[in-house]
Amino acid sequence: MKHFIFTLVLTAFGFAANAQTAKQPAAKQLDKKTVEIACGECQFKMKGKDCELAVRIDGKSYFVDGKGIDDFGDAHGKHGFCNAIGKAEVTGEIVNNRFKAKTITLLPEKKD
């Protein structure tokens, strides 16, 4: 009987420990993908604390880690990211609803 209770207790602990392990969603890798880039708050209407760089990938916006909004010039200038949406080629991954940038290369504006 003691052996049965001991096995039951160990099994219960095993289930409890397994239930507490949250599975992280797999990161989505991007390699040289063309995206929209701008200020998340000003142009993409994202909730944030301050002007922060963001990219829009397949219609969904993500704040960027690894690069800052002023790394590409004055964000509040006439053509800055708070006033205009640009295009960029990016490499990195989406983790926990944020884009972890490895590279961001701004693309030239298309002339009509």
pLDDT in tens, 78-99: 989 999 999 999 999 999 999 9
Looking at the domain assignment, is residue 8 inside a domain? no
Using CA atoms in the order 75, 76, 82, 85, what is the torsion angle rounded to 10 degrees? -70
Looking at the domain assignment, is residue 64 inside a domain? yes
Whether residue 62 contacts residue 99, with contact meaning beta carbons closer than 8 Å, is answered with: yes
Q: Is 83 helix (H, G, I), strand (E, B) or coil?
A: coil
* Distance separating alpha carbons of residues 65 and 58, to the nearest angstrom: 18
* pLDDT for 109: 81
Using CA atoms in the order 15, 17, 19, 25, what is the torsion angle rounded to 10 degrees? -140
* pLDDT for 9: 54
* pLDDT for 27: 83
One-letter identity of residue 22: A
* pLDDT for 19: 53
Looking at the domain assignment, is residue 93 inside a domain? yes
Looking at the domain assignment, is residue 2 inside a domain? no
For residue 38, the domain's CATH number is 2.40.50
Residue numbers of the chain with a pLDDT score lower than 50: none
* pLDDT for 24: 57
Burial 18-40 (b: 16+ CB within 10 A, else e): eeeeeeeeeeeebeeeebbbbbb
* pLDDT for 111: 67
Looking at the domain assignment, is residue 11 inside a domain? no
* pLDDT for 15: 59
Looking at the domain assignment, is residue 80 inside a domain? yes
Looking at the domain assignment, is residue 15 inside a domain? no
Number of domains in the chain: 1
Looking at the domain assignment, is residue 7 inside a domain? no
Question: 72: domain range?
Answer: 28-106
